[in-house]
Amino acid sequence: MEHASAESRTALQEPQKLSAAAWVAIWVGIAVLAALSSAIVAAAGRTPDLFLTTCLLLCVVAAAFDAGTGHIPNALTYTAILSGLAINTLATVSPLELRGAAGMGSALTGMLAYGGVGLVCMLAAGMGGGDAKLLAAIGAILGFRLATIALVFTLAAAVAYALVNLAVRGALNAALRSIALDFLNLVLLGIKPDVREARVSARSIPLAVPLLIGIPLSRLEPARQLWVWMGGWA
């Protein structure tokens, strides 16, 4: 029993050790859910945005790992970066029109710009490497322009999150950690981890959580008008 418990803790603390088959299943799940939600939106008479949906699903998985374990696996971020670049490049050279496609140039610029921002924050402010790579992935999927708008609202969400978490003495992080670990146990890892084993700081901000707020918020019309009023491009 002790040996099995030790193996579960190792799997929890090092989520990047998941098998290749598990990661294929995760990405197939993201693709299927993105396609299904886009089909539902299209059936409702609205134009679906596959890139936005994919980005949000990516952030859900990243938030579960980040809030639950304090790590965002490379298998998630690197695959997201390559997929974002590949799909936006395909949209550039293909006659098919994909709503939300930023194009090859904007995707590459977004990846380099926000990967660079993440690197600076990692070196100067102690941001985690997984968070930095997640920023690069968002830039690669949404492109420089949309990623810029989304990350401005994400910053506002992160500040609000930090203030609330500070006010409740880390209870928000603790609650999210419990939910995230249950999610990982149910959907991804197939183990029953002990919440107390997760090495997550009570004061750290799991970046993927504010991203889940900032990205859809940036697409709302009032937020777009506020962005323009602040001097951003239309």
pLDDT tens-digit series, residues 32-41: 998 898 888 8
Average pLDDT over residues 21-50: 84
Q: What is the reported pLDDT for 98?
A: 65
118 or 233, which is more confident:
118
157 or 180, which is more confident:
157
- How many residues are recorded in the chain? 234
Question: How many Å is the maximal CA-CA distance in the chain?
Answer: 61
133 or 170, which is more confident:
133
Give the pTM.
0.80
Q: pLDDT-based confidence at 224, cuts 50/70/90?
A: confident
Q: Among 34-38, 116-120, 171-175, 198-202, which range has the highest average pLDDT?
A: 116-120
- Tokens read off for 126: 């102690």
Q: Phi/psi of residue 94, each to 5°?
A: -90, 145
Residue type for 11, please?
A: A
Residue type for 115, please?
A: G
